[in-house]
Amino acid sequence: MKLFLKLVFLIFISLNLFSDELELQSQDKKAGDVLSSSEWNSVMKKLRSSSRKVKDEMLLGNWTCTGMAFSGESFDSVAGWSADNTPAPFTVYKRSGYSLTFATGNPGTWDASANTPNGDLFGNDHPLTGKFKVLNNELFISWSDSIQRSFALKFHGPNRFTGKKTGHFSGPLRNFYCDKQS
């Protein structure tokens, strides 16, 4: 019983540490509320999916992505990107609704051809197809038979992940997030 209470306490404290994208419960609980086993299992499933090691298979499917970058990062003249009204040096450029499909293979493939003619998300006029591999929670993107970009991945439940540039390869995109479509 003591272990159970500690676990429940840990979960309720951790609810405040997760981003808004990871909704662990449908409504707030009050003192004296009881969790059903299905609610408990649902919370545990969401927690496990947000903290486990990222694998290629987790990316498979269709995603809609949003990329964000500051103005000094080469997006001021790229089609599909728009600026907010924040003065430099903190002007944020954003690309929303970017379709990206990951498919199985060795290595896997990615396809962004649905974004034609404005297909640039990763920067520098990349092609709309290529290959990918996940290694130690890091997504490596390639085209022209060379690894071009790398992003540290973090899942926020089974239907959203974020990517943050690791610095191993060039390119202006610093971070993005994707929501699963199918």
**Which mean pLDDT values do the consecutive 10-residue runs of the chain (182 residues) have?**
49 42 65 78 67 85 90 68 82 89 94 78 79 94 91 91 87 87 89
Q: Is residue 99 part of a domain?
A: yes
Q: Is residue 164 part of a domain?
A: yes
* Beta bridge partner(s), residue 154: 162
Residue labelled with tokens 């089974």: 158
CB 112 within 8 A of CB 128: yes
- Host domain of residue 68: 56-180
Spatial distance between the Cα atoms of 9 and 100, rounded to a whole number of angstroms: 39
Spatial distance between the Cα atoms of 147 and 145, rounded to a whole number of angstroms: 7
Predicted local confidence at residue 40, as pLDDT: 77
CB 67 within 8 A of CB 121: yes
Q: Is residue 30 part of a domain?
A: no
Number of Cβ within 10 Å of residue 97's Cβ equals 9
Predicted local confidence at residue 34, as pLDDT: 79
Beta strands per DSSP E along the chain: 61-70, 82-83, 92-103, 108-111, 129-135, 138-143, 146-155, 160-165, 175-180
Provide the number of structural domains found in the chain: 1
* Beta bridge partner(s), residue 111: 101, 129
Helices (H), ranges, the chain:
2-15, 37-51, 56-59
Q: Could you tell me the pTM of the whole model?
A: 0.70
Predicted local confidence at residue 59, as pLDDT: 95
User: pLDDT, tens digit, for every residue of 53-95?
Assistant: 888 999 999 999 998 887 655 666 777 788 888 887 888 888 8
CB 122 within 8 A of CB 148: yes
Q: Is residue 81 part of a domain?
A: yes
182 Cβ partners below 8 Å, 6+ apart? 61, 62
Predicted local confidence at residue 123, as pLDDT: 67
- Which SS3 state, helix, strand or coil, does residue 71 take? helix
CB 25 within 8 A of CB 39: yes
Spatial distance between the Cα atoms of 24 and 125, rounded to a whole number of angstroms: 39
Q: Is residue 144 part of a domain?
A: yes
Among candidates 77, 76, 78, 102, which has minimal Cα distance to 91?
76
Q: Is residue 51 part of a domain?
A: no
Q: Is residue 39 part of a domain?
A: no
Q: Is residue 45 part of a domain?
A: no
